[in-house]
Every structure is written in C-alpha cells, then in structure tokens.
Amino acid sequence: MKRILDKVAFLIGLIKKGELKFLWSGISKRLYSTHLSYGLKRDLNIEIPTPPSLLKLEFRHYQDEDAPYFELDNMNHGLIEKNINHCFVATKNNEPVYRVWLMGPDQSQKIEDFWGNSFPTLKKNEVLCENSFTVPKYRGFGIMPFAMTKIAEKGKDLGADTSIIYTDTNHIVSLRAGDYAGYHPFILRTEKWFLFKKSVSFSDIPEALLEHYKKATQRRQRKKKVS
C-alpha cells in the first residue's frame, strides 16, 4: 500500500512541476515499446588511461544532505530509499555533481526488488555500475567517463574483477562515456512493454549492432595544423 501511495505522490509531484513530457514518456513506454541496450563490461585487472575531466573531482558515499542536488533525477525516484550499497557521489569542492550506484552480488535481492529482471544475477566476481546522473549545470565537463572509470575501480575493493553497465543502443553520449571508461559490449538486452507488463531477454549482439556501436564510439582524429 505504501509503495502505491508513494507512486501516486510522485506522479502528482511531476504534474505540479510541469514534468508532463517525462510523465507521458513513461506512460507511453509502458503501453507498448521495445528497447535495446548493450551490456558492456570492463576488466578491472587491466589498467586504462583515466579520461580527462575539466573539473577536479573527489568521490565519497552518498549522504542525505545531497538529496537537493538530485531532485531532477526522476528516473531514479525511490532508489535511495532501497538502501542499495554502494551509492557514490562525485563532488567539486564538496558540492555533488554526479551520482551512480556500484553494486555487488550481495545486493542481488535489492537489485531485483527495484529493477525486476532487468539485470542477470551478478556473479561473485562482478559489480554492476548503474543509474548514473550528472547534475544538469555540470554537463559537458567530461564528468561521466572520468567518474565511471574511477568508481568502477572501487569494485576491486568489493572483490570484483569485472564491472558491468547497460546502455541504450541509441544513447550515443553514454556509449562514448562507457567506451572511454574501458567498457566493451558483450551482450544485448531486449526490454519489451505491453499494457504495463515488461518482458526482458538477453542474447548475442547482432553484427549490425556491433557495427553501430563501433561507429557511435569512433573517436575523431584531430586535424593536423598546416604549417
């Protein structure tokens, strides 16, 4: 009952804030849609160059007083209340600018309770890095790939040697951020919605989508100056 009341309050809050586009997007998605996501993984035993960021950042666990900085993170509404370890925050001069969850297999039940069957059960050597959010005014500073790289490496403290993320096949910015952070595609997730019922399946990545990934993450060569 409490969960239903929380959802009703959330919907009313969206209407009051004028988030009608987000609200309609969520409803239409659940009526009928198909979404494809790459499963990407990174070998934490392999060192990679840290992608550059225009900001000097530090990392710590999420604190209750960070909440106002993530009010616009509608996609992750209710996730903090699930108390899923570990929620990390990147800060600039102790001001939160980015948030993401890094979860080990000991969090599998909580992961399933919140996301259903959207993720396969984690193996003992794996961590799931999910639901990242950059505070809007700090977007465009290279925070995501830098933070993804640094936070994934904290998975080694949890006994993992593999970090996994899932990214929509059409979300070019996130695909490039993951690529810079050392992630590579290994599986395809298909999520289908029909009349508010979701089904999820996993399969090998078709050659066409592998080519799409390569093109999306291809790094442009800097033009040489003509002397």
CB 70 within 8 A of CB 99: yes
Report the pLDDT averaged over residues 158-178. Answer: 95
> How far is residue 135's CA from residue 130's CA, in Å, rounded to a whole number?
16
On whether residue 65 sits in a domain, the answer given is yes
pLDDT of residue 227: 37
Using alpha carbons, select from 30, 160, 63 the residue that is nearest to residue 106. Answer: 160
pLDDT of 224 strictly over 50: no
pLDDT of 27 strictly over 80: no
On whether residue 180 sits in a domain, the answer given is yes
On whether residue 61 sits in a domain, the answer given is yes
Lowest-pLDDT choice from 67-81, 117-131, 144-158, 177-191:
67-81
Cα 127 to its chain centre, rounded Å, is: 13
Residue with the larger pLDDT of the pair 218 and 206: 206
pLDDT of residue 222: 42
9-26 per-position pLDDT tens digit: 544 554 555 655 655 566
Eight-state DSSP code of residue 227: -
* CB proximity list for 208: less than 8 A, separation 6 or greater: none
Q: How many domains does the chain have?
A: 1
On whether residue 63 sits in a domain, the answer given is yes
pLDDT of residue 223: 46
Concatenated DSSP letters for 84-126? -S-EEEEEETTEEEEEEEEE-GGGHHHHHHHHTTSSPPPPTTE
On whether residue 120 sits in a domain, the answer given is yes
> How far is residue 163's CA from residue 42's CA, in Å, rounded to a whole number?
5
Lowest-pLDDT choice from 18-22, 90-94, 95-99, 199-203:
18-22
On whether residue 48 sits in a domain, the answer given is yes
CB 97 within 8 A of CB 72: no
SS3 223: coil
At 169, the amino acid letter reads T
SS3 75: helix
Lowest-pLDDT choice from 46-55, 85-94, 163-172, 216-225:
216-225
On whether residue 122 sits in a domain, the answer given is yes
> How far is residue 189's CA from residue 191's CA, in Å, rounded to a whole number?
7
pLDDT of residue 31: 87
pLDDT of 8 strictly over 50: no
Q: Is 35 exposed, middle or buried (0-12, 13-18, 19+ CB in 10 A)?
A: middle
What six digits make up the tokens of 17? 């804030």
On whether residue 7 sits in a domain, the answer given is no
34-91 per-position pLDDT tens digit: 999 999 999 999 999 999 999 999 999 999 999 999 988 877 778 998 999 999 999 9
pLDDT of 146 strictly over 90: yes
Using alpha carbons, select from 116, 111, 108 the residue that is nearest to residue 193. Answer: 116
pLDDT of 160 strictly over 50: yes
Signed CA dihedral, 212, 164, 60, 81: sign only: positive
pLDDT of 151 strictly over 70: yes
At 94, the amino acid letter reads N
pLDDT of 109 strictly over 80: yes
Report the pLDDT averaged over residues 144-170. Answer: 95
What value does the mean pLDDT of the chain take? 87
Domain that holds residue 38: 33-216
- Domain of residue 106, CATH code: 3.40.630.30
Residue count (the chain): 227
Residue 185, strand partner residues: 40
